[in-house]
Chain A
Amino acid sequence: MILAFGHEDPLSFKFLGSSSILDEATSEMRVERSLLTEKAAWLRRECFEMVVRSRKGHFPSSSSCADILVTLMYGGWMRCTAANPRAPDRDRLFISKGHAGMALYPILEDMGFVAKGELLKFTKANGVFKFYPDQSIPGIEAITGSLAHGIGIATGHCLAGRQDGRDFRCYVIVSDGECYEGSTWEAALFASHQRLNRLVVFVDRNGCCILDHTEKCVALDPLAEKWRAFGWNVIEIDAHDVGQIDEALQAAEACTDKPTAIVALSIKGKGVSFMENRPEWHNKMPNEEQIAIARRELDVTTA
Chain B
Amino acid sequence: MEKPMNEKPLPRDAFIDEVYEYATRDRNIIFITADLGAKALDRFRRDLPGQFFHLGICEQNMIDVAAGLAQNGRIVFVYAMGPFVTLRCLEQIKVALASMHLPCCIIGNGVGYSYDDAGPTHYATEDVACMRSIAGCEVLTVGDTWSARLTARRSCTDPGLRYVRLDRAFLPDAHGEGDDRLWNDGITVVAPGEKTLLLANGSMLQRALEVRSLLAESAPAPAVADLFRTTPIRGDVLRSLTAPFDRLVTIEEHFLSGGSGGAIAEAMADHGISKPLMRIAIPDQYRFDNGGRRYLLELVGLDVRTMADRVREFATN
Contact = CB atoms under 8 A, between A and B. Distances in A.
Interface of A: 88, 134-135, 141-143, 146, 149, 151-161, 163-164, 182-183, 186-187, 189-190, 193
A27 to B, nearest CB: 26
A88 B72 CA distance: 8
Nearest to A156: B68
Interface stretch (B5-13, B50-58, B209-217, B249-257): B50-58
Interface string B3-46: 00000000000000000000000010000000000000000000
23 contacts: A134-B100, A142-B67, A143-B95, A143-B96, A143-B99, A146-B95, A149-B92, A153-B67, A153-B71, A154-B68, A155-B64, A156-B65, A157-B69, A159-B53, A160-B68, A160-B71, A163-B50, A164-B72, A186-B61, A189-B58, A190-B58, A190-B65, A193-B56
B68 A159 contact: yes
- Leading 6 A-B pairs by shortest Cβ distance: A156-B68, A152-B64, A160-B72, A186-B61, A186-B58, A156-B69
A153 B64 contact: yes
Contacts of B55: 190
Contacts of B95: 143, 146, 149
A156 B72 contact: yes
Interface of B: 27, 50, 53, 55-56, 58, 60-61, 63-74, 91-92, 95-96, 99-100
Contact of A149 (B27, B58, B64, B70): B64
A186 to B, nearest CB: 4
A142 B96 contact: yes
B307 to A, nearest CB: 41
Contact of A160 (B61, B74, B91, B92): B74
B268 to A, nearest CB: 35
Given A135-B100, A142-B96, A156-B66, A182 B71 contact: no
B137 to A, nearest CB: 16
Contacts of B63: 152
B56 A189 contact: yes
Contacts of B100: 134-135, 142-143
Contacts of B73: 160
A151 to B, nearest CB: 8
Interface centre among A143, A146, A153, A159 (most CB of B within 10 A): A153
B68 A153 contact: yes
B99 A157 contact: no
A182 B60 CA distance: 9
Contacts of A157: 68-69, 71-72
Nearest to A158: B68
A152 B50 contact: no
Contacts of A160: 68-69, 71-74
Contacts of A134: 99-100
A142 B71 contact: yes
A198 to B, nearest CB: 13
Contacts of A189: 56, 58, 61
Contacts of B58: 183, 186, 189-190
A149 B58 CA distance: 13
Given A149-B64, A153-B64, 5 more contacts: A134-B99, A156-B69, A160-B69, A186-B60, A190-B58
Contacts of A146: 91, 95
A182 B55 CA distance: 14
B92 A183 contact: yes
A160 B67 CA distance: 11
Contacts of B56: 186, 189-190, 193
B61 A183 contact: yes
A196 to B, nearest CB: 11
A162 B65 CA distance: 14
Interface centre among B27, B56, B69 (most CB of A within 10 A): B69
A183 B92 CA distance: 10
Contacts of A88: 72
Contacts of B72: 88, 156-157, 160-161, 164
Contact of B64 (A156, A164, A182, A193): A156
B99 A183 contact: no
A132 B73 CA distance: 25
A137 B130 CA distance: 29
Nearest to A166: B72
Contacts of B92: 149, 152, 183
Contacts of A183: 58, 60-61, 64, 92
B69 A159 contact: yes
Nearest to B51: A163
A142 B70 CA distance: 12
Nearest to A142: B100
Contacts of A193: 56
Contacts of A156: 64-72, 74
Contacts of A143: 95-96, 99-100
A152 B65 CA distance: 5
A157 B64 CA distance: 10
Contacts of A190: 55-56, 58, 61, 65
A5 B27 CA distance: 41
Contacts of B53: 159
